[in-house]
Amino acid sequence: MRFLFVLILFAGAGIGVVYPWAMSNFSGHQIGTWRVYEQGRFKPLTVPLSSRDAPVRVLVDLTARAERIVSQQRTVLTLTAASNGSTVLASTLQFNHSDNPRQASPQLPDKIFRDEAGVIATVSPGPYIFTVGPGDADDIPMRAVDLILRSGAGEIDSRARPVGFALMAIGLIGFLLTLRTGGGRPENPNSQPPPPRWGRG
């Protein structure tokens, strides 16, 4: 039983954590990366997209001098994408779920935090204007912000994270219970010495 609960725990981690992370970062191919904030100034970005790029996943990398982003549910950055005068994507970014940020440089204390702005499912050929701006969390020591576009990115199943976390909870609770009960194995009668015998013979 203990091994079964360990398998359930690992399956939950794969479905709830590894699968969404892999889909966000590795599905499809990268269109490009652009710097949209530097030296205290945001600048809009215009990128020509074609219908064969769809769906397009929009990712944002925030470089900051911090070990983690504690935004207290406040918005760190806002992002909008517009085409032909209409908004096709609007998102708020908090970055507070990035537990393992990348190191910007071995010589610098800055860390790179990634968040997903969303997916543009249908792409009409033409220029798309991406506008990134500050949110209401004004105490984040930002150094730079990069916009990443990935083409042909797969859509993450919305059921994956809840199902994965539920399996992780079941596996962990079951594993801990087997530790307390000794794994549910019956006691071997030969493991105890025989009771003492009295009298002759």
Task: Return d(Cα 27, Cα 103) in angstroms, integer.
Answer: 23
Residue recorded with tokens 């990634």? 114
As beta bridge partners, residue 23 has: none
Task: Return d(Cα 55, Cα 31) in angstroms, integer.
Answer: 12
Using pLDDT thresholds of 50, 70 and 90, give the confidence band for residue 17. confident
Q: Backbone phi, then psi, for 33, in 5-degree steps? A: -130, 135
Higher pLDDT, 152 or 163: 163
Give domain limits for the chain: 1-27+156-182, 30-151
Cα dihedral sign, 118-119-124-127: positive
Q: What percent of the chain has pLDDT over 90?
A: 41
Model confidence pLDDT, tens digit, residues 99-110 = 678 887 888 889
pTM across the whole model: 0.64
Task: Return d(Cα 26, Cα 182) in angstroms, integer.
Answer: 42
Contact (CB, 8 A) for 45 and 34: yes
Model confidence pLDDT, tens digit, residues 111-134 = 999 999 999 999 999 999 999 999
Whether cis (ω within 30° of 0) applies to the bond prior to 194 is no
Contact (CB, 8 A) for 51 and 107: no
The CATH class of 30-151 is: mainly beta
Model confidence pLDDT, tens digit, residues 165-195 = 888 888 888 878 888 775 445 555 565 666 6
Residue type (1 letter), 189: P
